[in-house]
Amino acid sequence: MISLLPAAKSLFEPDYTSELRQRGMKPLLQSLLVMAWMVEARDPYSGGHLWRVSQYCRLLAESLGLNKYEVARITLGGFLHDLGKISVPDSILKKPGRLNDDEYETIMNHPEIGARILIGHPLASLVKNAILHHHERPDGAGYPFGLDEGNLSIDSRIVSICDAFDAMTSTRPYRHSLPLDQALKDIKLNLHTQFDGNFGHLFIELAHSGRMNTILGHTDQGIPIQNCLTCGPTIVVRRSQKSGELTYCPNCAAEAIIEKNNSRISIHPTGRKGSVKSLQPKVDMDLIGEYVATSAAALVIA
């Protein structure tokens, strides 16, 4: 009887331990997401990539029936997977042509660098698989370790599909984006070799169902990708920005004015160039705050 008391008590009193852990989780999560955002901001063509990859990851993980903790962990992994690209020089990141062998080797270091950046971080174990293994493949031909199918985590298999799909459907300095049908055909062709067969099938079904339409071609919920009309790369319009505010191309510094008309968002060049200060990357703290709010509780449960 006496031994049951502490357990019974915990049913009726607030779980202060969990609350405290959740409170500690929020700034840790926020700092990681801000770091990932700043890494992405170095590449003028990748604006919105992390948001889209993490949203595809969330959708696929939920559709697989994974629990809230797993969905939150994989969504976070989708946002942080390319953290190691901080180590890739601008000359490679922004190269308009094909990479040579040395440049490709440099790129191939980014999963291990990403994992190394997080050594000792309290949340490292949550995202280690997504960061370190997102370029591994079921046929063992991936990098950095050439792991085979049996050694790939759910996280890395999901992030790998979502990352590749977003790369295919986004414009890069060396090629235009592929149409949706072509990208899905490419995924289908590479099931069981580059991509997990079961997860890839489900991903293709989800895309055909239209459930990705609010993610594809967007940089945030309800915000379609904007492109610089002078040189092409992505200009990310933040959700807090209002009509009439100015924005700048991260590549050529062309200035544009934002127009938000009901649900329609567009940008219009002013013909001017931005100053060095206006080109400083600005983190979308509203978007990150929403991630933190939705993920922190789920990640504390485990």
Q: Which residues bind Fe ion (CB under 5 A)?
A: 82
How distant is the alpha carbon of residue 160 from its chain centre?
Answer: 11
Place of tokens 């807090």: 240
Per the structure block, which two tokens stand in for 256? 């544009």
User: Interior CA angle at 46 toward 45 and 52, to 5°?
Assistant: 140
Identity of the residue, 111 or 233, whose beta carbon is nearer to Fe ion in the bound complex: 111
- Closest distance between Fe ion and the C-beta of residue 46, in Å? 10
Per DSSP, the chain holds a count of helices (H) and strands (E) of 12, 7
Identity of the residue, 80 or 256, whose beta carbon is nearer to Fe ion in the bound complex: 80
Identity of the residue, 82 or 220, whose beta carbon is nearer to Fe ion in the bound complex: 82
Identity of the residue, 43 or 82, whose beta carbon is nearer to Fe ion in the bound complex: 82
- Closest distance between Fe ion and the C-beta of residue 159, in Å? 9
- Closest distance between Fe ion and the C-beta of residue 174, in Å? 16
Helices 16-40 and 68-80: crossing angle, nearest 10°? 30
- Closest distance between Fe ion and the C-beta of residue 85, in Å? 7
- Closest distance between Fe ion and the C-beta of residue 68, in Å? 26
Identity of the residue, 93 or 124, whose beta carbon is nearer to Fe ion in the bound complex: 93
Using the CB atoms, write b or e for 155-188: b if 16+ within 10 Å. Answer: bbbbbbbbbbbbebbbeebeeebbebeebbeebe
Question: Does residue 256 contact residue 269 with C-beta atoms inside 8 Å?
Answer: yes
What are the residues facing 105 on neighbouring strands? Answer: none
Identity of the residue, 82 or 255, whose beta carbon is nearer to Fe ion in the bound complex: 82
- Closest distance between Fe ion and the C-beta of residue 82, in Å? 5
Query: Residue with CB nearest Fe ion?
Result: 82
Distance of alpha carbon 210 from alpha carbon 200, whole angstroms: 16
Question: Does residue 242 contact residue 195 with C-beta atoms inside 8 Å?
Answer: no
